[in-house]
Chains A and B, each alone.
Chain A
Amino acid sequence: MFQALRSRTGGFAVTSVIVGLALATGYIHLGLGGLLFTLNGLGYIGLAGLIVIGAAAPMPIVKRYSWFPRVALAGYTAMTIAGYLVMGPYFSLGFIAKGIEVALIAALAVDVVRVYGSPMGLVRTALGSVAPVLPARLRAFASPA
């Protein structure tokens, strides 16, 4: 399955799903009003933009750090889900948004395996991209960027 997703078309499809899900939950949060939800919605839209740039921009510097928006969006989504579980309130639109966010994390996981082979591959690539500023012990662990 991941072999098929490694094609250009597969990559476009996975990225489209990620961006679509991020924009969907961002839109829901913007519609809830209030500062917290508005900032949360804007965060999703900004990170969706970074995902698009990371996937589409041909510059080597962008390619080098394209792991960052994936990690940032996954972390941001996980924090949003955790915040909801702690604070609520639990109502239908909230559950729909959390369903979208769980699907978003799953799509990001597929994307990580598609691009880096495994989560460890992503860690190696991330360390490789910042290798010059890493201690020697960690530099040995990093993939060349």
Chain B
Amino acid sequence: MKPIRLSLVAVALAAVLAACGTTSADGGSAPDPADADVTVTAVDMVFDPGAVTVAAGETFTIALVNEDAMPHNIAIYTDSSKSEKLFEGEMVTDGTVVYDLPALDAGEYFFDCSLHPNMTGTLVVEG
């Protein structure tokens, strides 16, 4: 009886841990940067590359690979005045998150890290 109970506990624990590893908060999904349309790396408090390009009128994904020890995210605005926020992704610390983004019209958009406004980049949406 005891080994069975132990196995059930182990299975439950594994399920919880698996869920923790793949569940995401607002704006993120299971971290698999290979499947993302574009990848942005946060390293030494800088986004690399500083500009990424996606197609207009189609939903797309951005993988954020955070190589820093502090949390980062990507927040997208219509322009650098940050008057209109289009998207704000969840924070990730020393790991990867893939954001699912809505279709955007052609144009240039501004993105930054919500915690570190000096980390900026440009999202180019081509029609």
Contacts from A to B (Cβ < 8 Å): 31-34, 37, 88-89, 91-93
Of B75, B90, B115, which contacts A34 at CB under 8 A? Answer: B115
Q: How far is the CA of A89 from the CA of B112 in the complex (A)?
A: 12
Total A-B contacts with CB atoms under 8 angstroms apart: 31
Dominant secondary structure at the B interface? loop
Which residues, 33 to 72 on B, are CB-close (under 8 Å) to A?
A: 45, 68-71
Task: Please give, as numbers and ranges, the residues of chain B lying within 8 Å of A88 by CB-CB distance.
Answer: 114
CB distance from A98 to the nearest CB of B (A): 14
Task: Please name the 8 residue pairs, one residue from A and one from B, whose CB atoms are nearest each other, closest first.
Answer: A89-B114, A33-B70, A91-B91, A34-B116, A32-B70, A31-B70, A32-B115, A89-B115
- 18 residue pairs from A and B, CB less than 8 Å apart: A32-B70, A32-B115, A33-B68, A33-B69, A33-B70, A33-B115, A34-B115, A34-B118, A37-B115, A88-B114, A89-B73, A89-B75, A89-B115, A91-B71, A91-B73, A92-B91, A93-B71, A93-B91
Of B71, B73, B75, B90, which contacts A32 at CB under 8 A? Answer: B71
Chain B minimum-CB-distance residue to A35: B118
Of A31, A34, A37, which contacts B69 at CB under 8 A? Answer: A31
Dominant secondary structure at the A interface? loop
Chain A minimum-CB-distance residue to B119: A34
Task: Please give, as numbers and ranges, the residues of chain B lying within 8 Å of A32 by CB-CB distance.
Answer: 70-71, 115
Q: Which interface class (under 10, 10 to 19, 20 to 34, 35 or more) fits B?
A: 10 to 19
Given contacts A89-B114, A89-B115, contact A33 B88 (CB under 8 A): no
Q: How far is the CA of A32 from the CA of B75 in the complex (A)?
A: 17
Q: How far is the CA of A31 from the CA of B69 in the complex (A)?
A: 8
Task: Please give, as numbers and ranges, the residues of chain A lying within 8 Å of B75 by CB-CB distance.
Answer: 89
Chain A minimum-CB-distance residue to B91: A91
Chain A minimum-CB-distance residue to B88: A89
Task: Please give, as numbers and ranges, the residues of chain B lying within 8 Å of A91 by CB-CB distance.
Answer: 71, 73, 90-91
CB distance from B83 to the nearest CB of A (A): 15
Task: Please give, as numbers and ranges, the residues of chain B lying within 8 Å of A89 by CB-CB distance.
Answer: 73, 75, 88, 91, 114-115
With A34-B45, A89-B73, A89-B88 known, 15 other A-B pairs at CB within 8 A are: A31-B69, A32-B70, A32-B71, A32-B115, A33-B45, A33-B115, A34-B115, A34-B118, A89-B75, A89-B91, A89-B115, A91-B71, A91-B73, A91-B90, A93-B71
Q: How far is the CA of A96 from the CA of B66 in the complex (A)?
A: 21
Task: Please give, as numbers and ranges, the residues of chain A lying within 8 Å of B91 by CB-CB distance.
Answer: 89, 91-93
Q: How far is the CA of A9 from the CA of B114 in the complex (A)?
A: 43
